[in-house]
A and B are shown apart, each in its own frame.
Chain A
Amino acid sequence: MENKIRVSNLNFFYGKAQALYDISLEVPERQVVACIGPSGCGKSTFLRTLNRMNDTIPIARADGEVIVDGENIYAPGTDVVALRRKVGMVFQKSNPFPKSIFDNVAYGIRINGIQTSKTDLNDRVEKALHDAALWNEVKDRLNTSAFGLSGGQQQRLCIARALAVQPEVILMDEPASALDPIATQKIEELVVELKRDYTIVIVTHNMQQASRVSDRTAFFMLGKLVEYDSTQKMFQNPNEKLTEDYITGRFG
């Protein structure tokens, strides 16, 4: 299996405070990697280093390498817009814009300056909504406000918006943490479905969710990667006592 992403000796700082320590791991193509760990351990920070979303924080500084498709994304001259098109992101709180369902999905395509004809745009929006398992629920009301959707639908709309620019990697930061169990289940099914075409890195505080959807699991604590292995190994017989203690709820 090809590695889509390779992180080597990554250190990350917010000003003087170090948030990630010497992280090295590989994300295989078309697999789901789950990041778990107590809150504040650096999961979101780590996720944002994969498409340089941390660049927007003035005091933030990264050193080390993050190689996506063989290229170090921290190398000078990297086209960050193109990077973020390739490595898309879905956040914890669904954040649709005060626009129609259609425009929410079309937005990403438009701001990325992707040139499309009207029918092309329609096709892309439809495909993204299909891929996000939302099409059947919204096809008759594409021009109504996105705020009319349920929480779970809004989250899938945000996934559709991320998919519309045809990324190769999708980063998800606790995408289901604000959803009820049924909406959560739909997101989980979607994640498993999406890995046919995309490489996915998902942060979740829900360990059962990590075990259900991911192929590999990374366990972080205090900014360090404690253990990274196949999910079935991590949940049945982890190597590290810290991992065992965390996944069996021995510490909070």
Chain B
Amino acid sequence: MDHRIIDQQLDVLRDKILLLGGATESAVQRAMQSLVERDSVLAKQVLEEDKIIDQMELEIDRLSIEILALQHPAAHDLRFVISVAKITPILERIADHAGSIAEAALVINIEPLVKNYVEFPMMAQTAAEMLRSALDAFTNEDAQLSREIIERDKEIDTSYKKVFNALLEMMIDNPSATTGAAHLLFVAKHLERIGDYVKDICELNVYLREAAFIKHSRLI
């Protein structure tokens, strides 16, 4: 059969999760931009658009369940629907972290500029790159790339420790920077969590491709 009924629905599902992925990526990127460029208007926009992302999540949930209930997917079709259904809430949570970064930006942007963001932009860039690659790896069902991205999470963890120590020192040395630095600490934590979520997405990419569960396993 050239065209199965399920193909059309799987295509729609694929389009929807790619849109959600794009929206999430953009939320993270713009939240960081609102912070670095002290652009509170942009931060508010990011917060506003989180509602759209929540809506996308609901639609994907509904469609995934409908395909499972009515089309009885098997093999790769089944793994695809399961992966989408599991990646979707992860993307939504990443977008929530982007929202939290935007909220922090609203506070930080009215505080005096904290000099020496140190490792900070680099950490943000690594997180954004990992997210983009994870979505590419999902699209191309690239298990190899996914495994490489999982390894990169360690870079974020290392950066997080450096940023944490640097901000702590800053608070001690310069008490007037405490409010700003404390909020930056939250931002760093959000980025670190985003790294963890990206890792979860990559584990699902491997499942999609190989039907192997590598989560909670040393066998990456």
Contacts and interface: CB of A to CB of B under 8 A. Distances in A.
Nearest to B78: A236
B1 A238 contact: no
B86 interface: no
A207 interface: yes
Interface in B1-31: 1, 4, 6
A241 B72 CA distance: 19
B4 A250 contact: yes
Interface string A199-212: 00000000110010
Count class of interface residues, chain B:
10 to 19
A248 interface: yes
Q: In this complex, which of A208, A211, A244, A249 has the most chain B Cβ atoms within 10 angstroms of its Cβ?
A: A249
A57 B73 CA distance: 40
Interface in B75-99: 75-79
A188 to B, nearest CB: 15
A238 B75 contact: yes
Interface in A204-252: 207-208, 211, 235-238, 243-244, 247-252
Interface string B168-212: 000000000000000000000000000000000000000000110
Nearest to B76: A244
Contacts of A207: 74
Interface of A: 207-208, 211, 235-238, 243-244, 247-252
Given A236-B211, A237-B211, A248 B73 contact: yes
Contacts of B74: 207, 211, 235-236, 247-248
A232 to B, nearest CB: 10
Given A236-B211, A237-B211, A249 B75 contact: no
Interface of B: 1, 4, 6, 72-79, 210-211
A61 B32 CA distance: 75
A237 B78 CA distance: 9
B1 A249 contact: yes
B153 to A, nearest CB: 26
9 contacts: A208-B72, A235-B74, A236-B75, A236-B79, A237-B211, A248-B77, A249-B6, A250-B1, A251-B1
Contact of A247 (B75, B79, B210, B211): B75
A207 B77 CA distance: 15
A55 B72 CA distance: 39
B75 A237 contact: yes
A231 to B, nearest CB: 11
Nearest to A252: B1
B96 to A, nearest CB: 31
A199 B5 CA distance: 37
Contacts of B76: 244, 248
Contacts of A251: 1
A244 B74 CA distance: 8
Nearest to B211: A237
